[in-house]
A and B are shown apart, each in its own frame.
Chain A
Amino acid sequence: MKNFQPIIKAKNYTTEKSIKLTEKTIETAESAKSFFTSVGDFSVFILRVIKETFSLPFEFREFLKQCYQIGNKSLPLVGITGAIMGVVLTIQSRPVLNEFGAESMLPNMVAVSLIREIGPVITALICAGKVGSGMGAELGSMKVTEQIEAMEVSASEPMKYLVVTRVMAATLMIPLLVIFADTMGMFGSWLGVNIKGDLNIALFFSHAFSSVDFIDFIPAVIKSFFFGAVIGIVGCYKGYNAGRGTESVGIAANSAVVLSSLLIIIVDLIAVQITDMMIK
């Protein structure tokens, strides 16, 4: 008997290991499968939104209401953040520029980085948090309390009434908010410059915009439209597909923020590549 012991042990060890391996493979396969089904679902959702966007009638009233919700209600948050970013950017860039003896370039540099990158991305991320989670929670709770079904049976298309209006409003409002954030950022930067220097505002702005081209501005605006669309679509998708219990409202809001923030960064990466190619 004793002789057999090690062999048996070894056998057990290998089988155990192989069982663990298969379990892990199955698990990975399952999660890969669910990943691809959700990507598929999401694509179908986007296609439906596009289709509904171009079919009449357009719910203009609700669209305006959403524009107000998204645009007006985010103004303070976006404005304050923009201004602070301007101040911070200026204070941080000053020593670096000083080293190269290029302190006079401070307004130009802040303007370019604000308009090209910081303004759009920070605004979009903030709105992903504020607007995206709001949409996820609102549509999610409408789903849970059967309000979406109630719209369906009263012969209206909730896709059109709820989703298209929100996606359009976000797509339109985020670029406007970005421009607002940029402007506030420039004022912030002017304040920042004046902490250690003395530059009047007209001079500051003429300095700043002397190096800002169309090529800085246009791609940033185009990119912001996409950021807006991402926020709207992801927020609505997560809310619209919320589960049945109340806890799914929280999940919808949370995952809307996570997914849209991630997608915003990815869209930004793609946008940078495209602009880079075009400039060359």
Chain B
Amino acid sequence: MSDKDEAVTDEKVIEVKNLSISFGEQQVLKDLSLYLQKGENLIVLGKSGSGKSVLIKCITRLLQPNGGTISVLGKNVNEATNKELGELRKKIGFLFQSGALYDSMTVKENLQFPLRRIKKGIAAKDMQEKIEETLENVGLKDALNKMPSQLSGGMRKRIALARTIIVDPAIMLYDEPTTGLDPITSNEISSLINDVQKKYKTSSIVITHDIACARLVADRAVMIRDGELYAEGKLEELEKSDDEWIRSFLK
């Protein structure tokens, strides 16, 4: 773990302050504040339905919060113009909980889609190399010409991960990267997350229920309860906490 800490600096790449959002009557997040430091992996824990996915959707302005401010790389997300938002989104990788692979495209086209748009003017040969390399990283080299409907759930998840990391984003938002995977693949994905962090100095938010994965990748963890920040700290510290709820979560 100690070699990981060195990469983390004090610079805050994401800063969420007093975020609140509700859907109709239902208040999902209220007064949530947290930050992500440059180069760190931040684990977000919380019960199902506590608004973890909503949080990262607010960070990318897929959802508009009711209150609070979010700044990403020093830019206020909700005040950014469309153009600025586009630039910002190019630097953010977003792994959807559902994978969100483009059903009408092959795996290869799925991976080309962000490459073409974010790395404009990339040569065909480089693109091919990059695609093969990334697919190898997620262990699915032969899936190149398959359609998403031909893949298993876990394979879809890994292709979705490949599609996200292929453009080397500065910030990664992983929504449950290891859910539905077997322990071995799950471990491989966890170490892939660590590799990405080291290689590209990526700062990441990792939402997960998988404690094994959390132990492997976490530099720091936050817990969300009832729409607010409930606990924050190193995973080892949280595990030793007196709080019943926190410990029952990390068992």
Contacts and interface: CB of A to CB of B under 8 A. Distances in A.
Q: Do A and B bind each other?
A: yes
Interface of A: 138, 141-142, 145-147, 149-156
A232 B103 CA distance: 20
B89 A149 contact: no
B121 to A, nearest CB: 12
A150 B90 contact: no
B122 to A, nearest CB: 14
Given A146-B96, A149-B62, A154 B117 contact: yes
18 contacts: A141-B103, A147-B100, A149-B62, A149-B96, A150-B96, A150-B102, A151-B113, A152-B62, A153-B60, A153-B62, A153-B92, A154-B114, A154-B117, A154-B118, A155-B86, A155-B90, A156-B113, A156-B114
A145 B100 contact: yes
Contacts of B113: 151, 154, 156
B94 interface: yes
Contacts of A151: 102, 113
Find the residue from A138, A141, A150 having the highest chain B CB count within 10 A: A150
Given A153-B62, A155-B117, A146 B98 contact: yes
Interface in B72-98: 86-87, 89-90, 92, 94, 96, 98
Contact of A145 (B94, B98, B114): B98
Given A141-B103, A150-B94, A154-B113, 7 more contacts: A138-B104, A142-B102, A146-B100, A147-B101, A150-B100, A153-B60, A156-B114
A142 B100 CA distance: 8
The main secondary structure of chain A at its interface with chain B is helix
Contacts of B167: 154
Contacts of B96: 146, 149-150
B100 A155 contact: no
A154 B100 contact: no
A142 B167 CA distance: 22
Interface residues of B, number: 21
A195 to B, nearest CB: 45
Contacts of B114: 154-156
A154 B169 CA distance: 10
Contacts of B86: 155
Contact of B89 (A138, A147, A152): A152
Contacts of A149: 57, 62, 96, 100
A137 to B, nearest CB: 12
Given A153-B62, A153-B89, A155-B86, A145 B118 contact: no
Nearest to B82: A157
Interface in B144-176: 167
B215 to A, nearest CB: 28
Nearest to A244: B23
Contacts of A147: 100-103
Contacts of B102: 142, 147, 150-151
A141 B103 CA distance: 9
B180 to A, nearest CB: 15
Nearest to B63: A149
Nearest to A149: B62
Contacts of A150: 94, 96, 100, 102
B116 to A, nearest CB: 9
A142 B103 contact: yes
B77 to A, nearest CB: 12
A145 B100 CA distance: 6
A131 to B, nearest CB: 15
Nearest to B175: A146
